[in-house]
Amino acid sequence: MLSKNARLWLGLIAVISLLSLASSCSKGGGDDVENPTTEGGGKTYTAKNNEGTISGVVSYNGTAPENKKIDTSADSACTSKSPDLKTEEWVVKDGKLGNTYVYIKDGTLADGSKIGDYGKWPNMPASATLDQNGCHYKPHVLGVVVNEPISITNSDPTQHNVHFTPKGNPDWNQGQANGAPPLQHKLARAEVMVPVKCNQHPWMKAYVAVSKHPFFAITAEDGSYSIKGVPPGKYTVVAWHEGGANGTEQKMEVTVAASGAGKADFAFGGTAMVEEGSWPILEAITFPTLHNH
């Protein structure tokens, strides 16, 4: 027979474990993590030769924060190969923002079907490479589709330890000695964004976005991007940048006519430009964020 105290404790433990279960579930749902997608799951989209494009430019308004110099002295192999290594959060040139991940988040095709109904599209990328070179990742932001093989190469004369830290996919953590063959990894669920770190070199950071469809792009240094092969329809297009505590998103509705060209320009930053009398600018900058989630 349990004492009154013991029963009270058991009850408390039950309540706490239920609560933590509930919170871990809502955590997955609150982020951009979709349901499991098996290879080949969902409908197959057949090209109709009336697909269009979505393109645009991502700007940064104001003065971007400076990238910081990284102290690599813990590993002399890093120091000699990358003597001037800096953080890569801000790629800003002439007011344009690079390394921004732009993708179709959802939308409805002209025939009424949803973009999420499809699991197979023409021109699905076949493979991607994430290179560890000079003790940083190349590229810094990578977009893949679900189950796309990612080859992780070590081009450095030192050991790395690549660690994917997703929310909706399994954690993945692998050491890789210098000269070791490439590691292979793939992620089965759509997720924006999966942070990647190196347990060996704490400054190393990359971001991998996993999409169910091939309609994504990463902005170049001039802020431009282009997404091709988009079926006619109405879409929510999201631009994601790593700045901020958990990244920052902007979103926009874009219509693509048959064989048409949809435009979606985005702007990040902006606080430096907000001053009295510039309400139209303020509105243009902050409006998309109001509609986040």
**Binding positions for Cu ion, rule: CB under 5 A:** 160, 198, 200-201, 204
Q: How far apart are CA 144 and CA 141, in angstroms?
A: 10
Q: Do 260 and 232 contact (CB within 8 A), yes or no?
A: yes
Would you put residue 73 in left (φ > 0), alpha (ψ -120 to 50) or beta?
A: alpha
Judged by beta carbon, residue 36 or residue 157, the one nearer Cu ion is: 157
| Residue 197: CB minimum distance to Cu ion, A | 9
Q: Do 212 and 37 contact (CB within 8 A), yes or no?
A: yes
Judged by beta carbon, residue 78 or residue 217, the one nearer Cu ion is: 78
Judged by beta carbon, residue 96 or residue 136, the one nearer Cu ion is: 136
| Residue 159: CB minimum distance to Cu ion, A | 7
| Residue 137: CB minimum distance to Cu ion, A | 9
Q: Is 124 helix (H, G, I), strand (E, B) or coil?
A: coil
Judged by beta carbon, residue 100 or residue 200, the one nearer Cu ion is: 200
Count of C-beta atoms within a 10 Å radius of residue 57: 18
| Residue 132: CB minimum distance to Cu ion, A | 6
| Residue 191: CB minimum distance to Cu ion, A | 23
Judged by beta carbon, residue 131 or residue 265, the one nearer Cu ion is: 131
In the 3-class helix/strand/coil scheme, how is 68-92 assigned residue by residue? CECCCCCCHHHHHHCCCCECCCCCE
